[in-house]
Structure 1
Amino acid sequence: MFERTLEIDLAADEASLIEQLSELELLKSAAAARQARLTAALDENRRCAEAHRGIPAAKRGRGLASEIALARRDSPNRGGRHLGFARALVHEMPHTLAALETGALSEWRATLIVRESACLEIEDRRALDAEMCADSSKLNGRGDKRIEADAKAIAYRLDPHAVVDRAVRAESERTVTSRPAPDNMAYVTAFLPMAQGVAVYAALRRAGDACGDGRGRGQVMADTLVERVTGRPADVPVPVTVNLVVTDETLLGGDTAPGQVPGYGPIPAAIACRLASDAIADERSKATLRRLYRHPSSGALVAMESRARRFPDALARFIALRDNTCRTPYCDAPIRHTDHANAHAAGGATSELNGLGACEACNYAKEAPGWRVTTLRRRDGAHISEVTTPTGARHQSQAPPLLHFDRSTPSPVEAQLAHVLAEFAAA
């Protein structure tokens, strides 16, 4: 096994501390290069083994990116990037790999070079690799933007048509995404063609500059965006369906245990209740409040089951609430599929215990040969899933507790609720 500890001298003088920082940065780059070599070797071995077993070329290597992601404790999406990065460096860009190995490039800056050269034919890609990285001293002092700009310029000079074609294809990838931000806020990101993106921002900025009601420019820009997209004033409560998971004490006694909002995560009980009450109270808005109880000790939702192959809508919503995001370890992608851990064709039940929320990529990855997923319920009610990869590595994930609270023993109301939930689950 590799040595997992590195000796550092915290009592050294300032110059020595700086030197240690620099040495560790070189080690990070060297480690990234070794990971790339290992990844490329794994890819070759897997494809050769599958070819020997007669697996069609189009299906070889299926699920490997997810396996790499699990080994690196990363999301499956990034596993695909790691695999593509390794293939390019090892097979097509030896000078960039050497620069990474010696520390002349960081892993991110090597990634920028690989990304900007992705549209080129192999011969042109190797020419770009040599021009940028054959003399690694040229890389000294160049930051991310300079590296990216130089790679773009060389790629355009080598094959302008390929660069233009990639830009045209990129327009088909325009989209809007959302992700949680700190303090009960959210980032909404629009990936747009350059001209449209500039126009959108300019229009919002004009609205911010023209407003004189005391709000800051950024506040006006955000409010204007909401109003133009939703068609309602920004100060009107949003007509939401709040899947508010609460303890009995929060619901009846004003406890401070947080609520849970699917796709976002935990929010303070006061915020969740205010969000719902404001929407319900305002006659210009409509809202639905769905109240759900959890297991008194673990926070897990009570079990549900169906005899159908396809998960009924109510059960699928239930599992989505329980899992919140894709259940593959380290994957934070939104749930797109409700999946049978043990396949229905193999006798797996359409139940809360055997059901898992999964993103599309992870659901398809586990269908590759050698993958196995199992589920179990601990005595405290927590739902556990375990993924076994083709190499035999095992990775577990637990459905996130819906609520956390500090009481070491359940209240009398909770004890009674636990009894009722147990009877419901057994029915």
Structure 2
Amino acid sequence: MASILEHMFDYDEAALIERIATLEREKSAAAAAQARATARLDELRRAAEAAAGVPARKRGRGLASEVALARRDCPNKGGRHLGFARALVHEMPHTLAALECGVLSEWRATLIVRESACLSVDDRRVLDEEMCADMSKLDGLGDNRIEADAKKIAYRLDPQAVVDRAAKAASERNVSCRPAPDAMTYVTALLPVGQGVAVYAALKRSADTTFDDRSRGQVMADTLVERVTGRPADSATPVAVNLVITDESLLGGDDVPADIAGYGPVPASVGRHLVNAAVSDKRSKATLRRLYRHPRSGALVAMESRKRLFPKGLATFINLRDGTCRTPYCNAPIRHRDHAEPARRGGPTSAVNGLGECEACNYAKEAPGWRVITSTDEQGRHGAQFTTPTGARYSSVAPPLPGLTVVDVSTLEVRIGIELAAMGHAA
């Protein structure tokens, strides 16, 4: 890699453009090779499980998570990678060929596969041939055009399948939350088109009839908060929010960032504002719970609990310690508190053996061949090692809590630092 970078200094602009184009084609070819490898892995795993007498409905369980881990991707995308590979290799040879030679990017191939998902295998092959058999037709087509053309063909081949998929999509409505820059957050609602348009129109109407110093976008955002929570947008909401902040930052003596469970780090001033708002609003109730972190690693090692039921307090401890799902590369919210060593095998109900996981990852590791081992080191850091059925190993460590860490410095290091500083002054 170093030699390639060195040679690039000798390239002129035209050569650099050609290099960029070549690398893009190689990325597409690599994606096609990944698809072939993934489909073959699926075949081998299912054949082995069939030979072992595993029921058909249980074959391949956990494989999507293995694929995601191998790609250093979140497990939620593993199913998409696996379905993409099966479709390309077994049902859509022209799309696969276009991907292999770089005419299609992986994302554009994904769009074609996605829009054909509701079709029968025969109709899917027809769409594949119409879209990609003549690769020259794909030149110059962007994402939107690729998606639109695939939709048109799918609807022409099987209108009822497209309508049925749209009807089924309504059952997948949901609301999600993810961090945004500058201590903001994206709250996204996936709704049927009628409801979504109605919600937006109602917020827009509120902005059209409100006249103050706020912008239209601010009025719409505040109206959304007020209608969902039933309270003014500038008041504290009586909903449990786990805010982790050091005592120094809380009292204004330090500016170490705080951490909001399910969101991530926020400036100390934002954390103080949230606490002050909850304390000053008589309609809200703020409860303080002491967390004990290791001074060197920042790991959560204990928690003062106001609950009498140990399991519920332990679940809260695990939630605060892990933050999000502990499967490597998965940042999904915690839904299950699970035993790393299953209870049926004698695994204890303890903080060390406990893991915060999303639902999908918890179920994936229950498949045959998976194993998870947890431990804590001398500084209280909680680690988990995941071993997949192929023997691949992946590790995760619980994130440190807010606060400065203590670093041990040896006498020799101190002397070296003093001598270097003296040499700097002498120079």
Matched positions, count: 404
2:97 is aligned with 1:85: no
**More divergent stretch after superposition (21-30 vs 310-319):** 310-319
Cross-structure match for 1:42: 41
Q: Name the structure 2 match of 1:349.
A: 348
CA separation in 2, counterparts of 1:5 and 1:108? 30
Using the TM superposition, name which of 69-78 and 207-216 deviates more: 207-216
Residues 1:203 and 1:73: Cα distance change in structure 2 (over 3 Å): same
Alignment of 1:164-203 (within 5 A): 164-203=163-202
Q: State how 1:386-397 maps to structure 2 within 5 Å.
A: 386-397=385-396
> How many angstroms apart in 2 are the aligned matches of 1:132 and 1:333?
35
**What does 1:50-89 align with in structure 2 at a 5 Å threshold?**
50-89=49-88
Report SS of the residue matched to 1:241.
coil
Letter in 2 for 1:378: D
Q: 1:209 offset after TM fit, Å? A: 2.8
In the alignment, structure 1 residue 152 sits paired with structure 2 residue 151: yes
Deviations 1:378-408 (A, max 9, x none): 2221110000001100000000111242653
- Choose 261-270 or 68-77, whichever is displaced more: 261-270
Given that 1:311 and 1:350 are in contact with CA atoms closer than 8 Å, whether structure 2 keeps it comes out as no
Distance 1:137 1:54, change over 3 A: same
Q: Which amino acid aligns with 1:367?
A: E
Q: Structure 1 residues 332 and 4 mapped into 2: Cα distance closer, same or farther (>3 Å)?
A: farther
Structure-1 residue corresponding to 2:373:
374
Alignment partners' CA distance in 2, 1:409 and 1:209: 60
Q: Which residue of 2 aligns with 1:408?
A: 407
Return the letter of the residue paired with 1:256: D
3-state SS of 1:339 partner = strand
The more displaced of 202-211 and 387-396 is 202-211
CA distance in 2, matches of 1:387, 1:283: 47
- Structure 1: 5+ residue stretches without partners: 305-309, 411-427
Question: Per-residue displacement from partner, 1:102-132 (whole Å, max 9, x unpaired)?
Answer: 1111000000000000000000000000000
1:303 to partner: Cα distance: 4.6
Q: Which amino acid aligns with 1:337?
A: H
Farther-moved stretch of structure 1 (324-333 vs 399-408): 399-408
Q: Which residue of 1 aligns with 2:228?
A: 229
The aligned counterpart of 2:419 is none
Task: Give distance in 2, aligned partners of 1:274 and 1:153.
Answer: 52
1:335–1:358 contact (8 Å) kept in structure 2: yes
TM-score of the aligned structures, taking structure 2 as reference length: 0.90
Mapped partners of 1:407, 1:338: distance in 2: 30
Q: Distance in 2 between matches of 1:355 and 1:5?
A: 47
- The aligned amino acid for 2:172 is E
CA contact (8 A) 1:246 1:292 kept: no
Which secondary structure state, in structure 1, belongs to the residue aligned with residue 242 of structure 2?
strand
What residue is the counterpart of 2:275 in the other structure?
Answer: 276
Residue of structure 2 in register with 1:15 after alignment: 14
Query: Displacement, 1:197?
Result: 1.0
Between the aligned partners of 2:191 and 2:290, the Cα distance in structure 1 is 38
Taking a change above 3 Å as real, the CA distance of residues 358 and 4 of structure 1, as seen in their structure-2 partners, is: farther
Deviates more, 1:228-237 or 1:150-159: 228-237
2:33 & 2:57 partners in 1: Cα distance?
A: 27
In the TM superposition, residue 242 of structure 1 has moved relative to its aligned partner by 4.1
Q: Does the CA-based 8 Å contact 2:235-2:277 persist in structure 1? A: no
SS in 2 for 1:157: helix
Q: Specify the code of the residue in structure 1 equivalent to 2:164.
A: D
Residues 249 and 272 of structure 2 are in contact (CA less than 8 Å); yes or no, is this contact kept in structure 1? no
**Aligned residue in 2 for 1:114:** 113
Aligned to 1:421: none
- Amino acid corresponding to residue 9 of structure 1 in structure 2: M
The 8 Å contact of residues 241 and 289 in structure 1, kept in 2 or not, is answered as no
Q: Is the 8 A contact 1:176 1:190 kept in 2?
A: yes
Match of 1:163 in 2: 162
What does residue 420 of structure 2 align with? none
Preserved contact between residue 294 and residue 300 of structure 1 (Cα < 8 Å): yes
| Letter paired with 2:178 | R
Q: Distance in 1 between matches of 2:168 and 2:249?
A: 51
Change beyond 3 A, Cα 1:287–1:249: closer
Matches within 5 A, 1:224-263: 224-251=223-250, 254-263=253-262
In the alignment, which residue of structure 2 is the partner of 1:413?
none
CA distance in 2, matches of 1:378, 1:253: 32
Between 266-275 and 153-162, report the one with greater CA deviation: 266-275
In the other structure, the counterpart of 1:307 is none
Match of 1:141, as an amino acid? G
Q: State the secondary structure of the residue aligned to 1:293.
A: strand
CA RMSD of aligned residues (A): 2.1
Which stretch shifts more, 100-109 or 176-185? Answer: 176-185
1:358 aligned to 2:382? no
Spell out, residue by residue over 1:40-93, the C-alpha distance to the aligned partner (whole angstroms, 9 max, x if none): 000001111111111111111111000001100001110110000000000000
Structure 1 partner of 2:337: 338
Report the AA paired with residue 378 of structure 2.
R
Unaligned runs of 5+ in 2: 304-308, 410-427
The answer for the alignment partner of 2:289 in structure 1 is 290
CA distance in 2, matches of 1:67, 1:52: 21
Counterpart CA distance in 1 for 2:4 and 2:57 is 43
